[in-house]
Amino acid sequence: MKKINYTKIAKKTALIQISELKKINKSFNKTFIKALELIGNCKGKVIAAGVGKSGLISRKVSATLSSVGFPSFYLNPGEANHGDLGQIDRRDILLVFSYSGNTVELTNMLKYANRFNIKIIGVTSKKNSMLLKACDIPILLPTVKESDPTGMVPTTSTSITLLFGDCLCAALMHKFKFSKEKFKVFHPGGTIGQNLLLVKDIMLTGKKLPLINFNSNILKAIQIITKKSLGIGIIIKNKNVIGIVTDGDIRRGTKKFSGNNKINVLMTKKPLYISEGSSAAKALSIMSEKKITSLLVSSDKDFRKNKTFFRPTGILHVHSLLKYGIK
C-alpha cells in the first residue's frame, strides 16, 4: 500500500489558498470606499451577522472592529427572528456575511432593515443573490476554488471572507488614524496590553523618587536610599540630574570615605535614562542588556535633545515591570 504524504497534502492545500486569496484585490473598489465611509460615520453600532461559517467570521470581524474603536456586536440571525431584532437601532449598520448570499435565515433580518431604513453592507460572492439585492452597499467577493480534496468544503471561501474582514478593519484604522495609544485604551489586558504599556504608565514619581542634593553627605544619602527602598539615589543639582549612586557604590566607597564626605565622590556621572513616552518593553530590554535594576526617566522633550543634565520625571524599577507582567 502506497504511503500517503500528508505533509505534501498540507502544503498543496496552502498553495491553493495562497493563489486564490490574491483574487481579493478585485473587491477593493469604489464600493469598498463607500463601506469605509459608512462605518466610519456610523452614529450607532456595526452589527455583524452571518450563519454557519459566515457567522463565525462575523463574530471575529465584529470583535476586531470593537477593539479598534468602532462599537460592534454579533447578532445571530436565528435568534433575531425570535425577538432579537429589537437590538437593532435606526442609527446602526448591518454588516452581513454570506458567501452564497441566499442564506434563508437572513431573510427576516434584511426585510426588517429595509423597512426601517437601516443601512446594510452585504458581503457575498454571488452577483444576483438575495443579499446583494437587499443591501445598500454590495461587496462582491471573487468566487474561489476550495482547497479540500472534494472541492466542496468551505475552506478557501471562508479564508477569503475573513481576509476581507481584516482588510476592512485595517483600512478603517488607517483612514481614521487609529494609533497604538488608542488601541491600548480598548485593550488593556493580556500580552497585547502589556506590550503597549508606556514607561510613564508604570514609573515611580513625585515623593517616591530618591532625590539627593549634591551637597549631601554619604550618611544623608544612605538615609534617603534606605527610606525609598529602591537601592539607588538620584543626585540633583539645580533640579537637574547630575548622577546616580547605588547602595553597592556606597558599600564599596565606605572603605575609602567616611559618612561625612560629599555623596558626589561616589556618584556615577551621565547615568542611563529613557523617555517617559517609550514602551515599557523597551525599558526592560535596556535594563536586561546593561544588567541594571533601575532606570531614570526624563520627559520626551529632554530625551529628544539628548541632554546630559535633565529633570527627572520618574524612575523605573524592575519590580514595577514584573508587577505588570512585562517580560
Q: Report the candidate in 56, 26, 27 with the shortest Cα–Cα distance to residue 123.
A: 27
Quote the pLDDT of residue 110.
94
**CA–CA separation, 54 vs 62, rounded Å?**
12
Provide CB contacts within 8 A for 33, sequence distance 6+: none
User: What is the set of domains in the chain, with CATH numbers?
Assistant: 6-178 (3.40.50.10490), 199-323 (3.10.580.10)
3-state secondary structure 43-66: CCCEEEECCCHHHHHHHHHHHHHH
Sign of the dihedral defined by the CA atoms of residues 229, 232, 235, 236, in that order:
negative
Question: No. of H helices and E strands in the chain?
Answer: 15, 12
DSSP string, 171-187: HHHHHTT--HHHHHHH-
What nine digits make up the cell of 76? 445571530
23, 127, 142, 146, 240 from 27: Cα distances, Å: 8, 13, 7, 18, 58
Per-residue pLDDT at 187: 53
Would you say 320 and 202 are in contact if contact means Cβ atoms under 8 Å apart?
yes
- Series of mean pLDDT values for 10-residue runs along the chain (327 residues): 87 94 94 95 93 95 89 90 86 94 91 94 93 94 93 94 95 81 58 72 91 92 91 92 90 84 89 90 89 90 82 89 73
The DSSP bridge partners found for residue 246 are 232
pLDDT at 227: 92
Q: What pLDDT, on a 0 to 100 scale, did the predictor assign at position 206?
A: 92
How many other β-carbons are positioned within 10 Å of the β-carbon of residue 197?
A: 19
pLDDT at 312: 92
Enumerate the H helices of the chain as residue ranges.
6-21, 30-40, 53-67, 77-80, 107-115, 130-134, 156-175, 180-186, 190-196, 199-202, 218-228, 247-253, 280-290, 300-304, 318-323
